[in-house]
Amino acid sequence: MSSDLSITVRFHPPPDELRRYFTTFYLTDVRLPDGQVVTDSLQPEWANLRFFSGAPPLSWIDGGDRVEGASFTATGPSIRNCHFRLGATRFWGIGLLPLGWARFVRQPAADHANLIADGHRHPSFAAFRPLADRLFGAEPDEAAELARIVDFFRQFGDHPTSDEARIQAIHAAVVDPMLVTVAELVARVSASQRTVERICHRSFGFSPKVLLRRQRFMRSLAEFMLDPSLKWIGAIDSQYHDQAQFVRDFHEFMGQTPREYANTPHPVLEKFMHERARIHGAAVQTMDRPEGTSPRAA
């Protein structure tokens, strides 16, 4: 990793009428000497759209897709880490909550799980190409670029989405750290298990069981990333029966051991997570609660 690496991240909340669809709009500025690159990986997350001005990334998912040279990349909801290699660049990211996926992508999320794609080529993301084509001007202008993002999504109008209330109810249940089982989730949503499974497939990308496992894992991983002094034993979520169960999840979701992950530098992700926790309150987007909900009392 170059000692000349400089990373700036700024987060912008969506306007009120769009807030239930998105995590944040965020601008990242990666500064490196010509010809140098930085390598890192993203953790499991909801879907994202990313628009690059400068060196486009090389991105790949373990056992999955590989995208190189795309100025607009799109990812589906994931339970895998997505690796990337970046040179000097500026890029905007747009995090799509499950309701945002249902509203703007309108394709089964499960068919796009663990996907990374060139947004200019993949048909499911064609609606966002006009934004990619006009987002950046001749000179960097953060305020103008943010205004273009907001105006672009406002043009879709603020219409109710099919199953909106149930999507929000499932989302609120999934991110509740006190909820443990699929049966509890189904009871919380007050719908049949078949209905919950159908909505999770279309809007969340995974079964309720996998979503709950991912939440448990991400609570542990985020805790460690924010404070490595805890060591893994101090960061493991209370829902884990033992450390061996956590290690098995780590292998499945990240493709490596906790020790291997801890020994790998994460210069972009660490900066991103600490700044997101400071500004937005949650270090990772999978911890974001749907608009209008609050944590349940422990």
What pLDDT digit, counting tens, does each position of 240-252 carry?
988 999 999 999 9
Q: Are 6-154 and 164-287 the same fold in CATH?
A: no
Question: Is the pLDDT score of 145 beyond 50?
Answer: yes
**Tell me, what DSSP letter sits at residue 102?**
I
pLDDT level of residue 48 (50, 70, 90 thresholds): very high
- CB–CB of 125/49 below 8 Å? yes
Q: Provide the pLDDT for residue 292.
A: 57
Q: Going by C-beta distance under 8 Å and a sequence separation of 6 or more, which residues neighbour residue 16?
A: none
| Backbone φ, ψ for residue 252 (5° rounding) | -70, -45
Rounded Cα distance, 208 and 111, in Å:
16
Q: Provide the pLDDT for residue 199.
A: 98
Q: Provide the pLDDT for residue 297.
A: 32
pLDDT level of residue 233 (50, 70, 90 thresholds): confident
Rounded Cα distance, 21 and 291, in Å:
8
Q: Provide the pLDDT for residue 1.
A: 47
Task: Give pTM, 2 decimals.
Answer: 0.93
- 97 to 19, 40, 109, 151, 170: CA distances (angstroms): 9, 23, 11, 19, 12
Query: If you classify domain 164-287 with CATH, what class do you get?
Result: mainly alpha
Q: What is the DSSP string of 104-155?
A: II-S-GGGGTT-EEETTT-GGGGGGHHHHHHS--SS--HHHHHHHHHHHHHT
Among all chains, which residue has been given the structure tokens 């394709």? Answer: 107
| Region 6-154: CATH code | 2.60.120.10
Among all chains, which residue has been given the structure tokens 């497939």? Answer: 201
Q: Provide the pLDDT for residue 169.
A: 97
pLDDT level of residue 137 (50, 70, 90 thresholds): very high
Q: For 121-130, 184-193, 202-211, 278-287, which range has the lowest pLDDT when averaged over its residues?
A: 278-287
Question: Is the pLDDT score of 158 beyond 90?
Answer: no
| Backbone φ, ψ for residue 39 (5° rounding) | -115, 140
- CB–CB of 105/82 below 8 Å? no
Across 164-182, b (16+ Cβ under 10 Å) vs e yields: eebbbbbbbbbbbeebeeb
How many other CB atoms are there within 10 angstroms of residue 259's CB atom? Answer: 11
Question: Is the pLDDT score of 254 beyond 80?
Answer: yes
- CB–CB of 30/93 below 8 Å? no
Q: Provide the pLDDT for residue 293.
A: 56
Domain residue ranges in the chain: 6-154, 164-287
Q: What share of the chain in percent tops pLDDT 90? A: 80
Give the tens place of pLDDT for each residue, 169-218.
Answer: 999 999 999 999 999 999 999 999 999 999 999 999 999 999 999 999 99
**Tell me, what DSSP letter sits at residue 250?**
H
pLDDT level of residue 279 (50, 70, 90 thresholds): confident
Rounded Cα distance, 196 and 60, in Å:
31
Instruction: Please state the rounded mean pLDDT for residues 145-169.
Output: 93
Question: Is the pLDDT score of 105 beyond 60?
Answer: yes
- CB–CB of 162/75 below 8 Å? no
Question: Is the pLDDT score of 291 beyond 80?
Answer: no
Give the tens place of pLDDT for each residue, 13-46.
Answer: 999 999 999 999 999 999 999 889 999 999 999 9
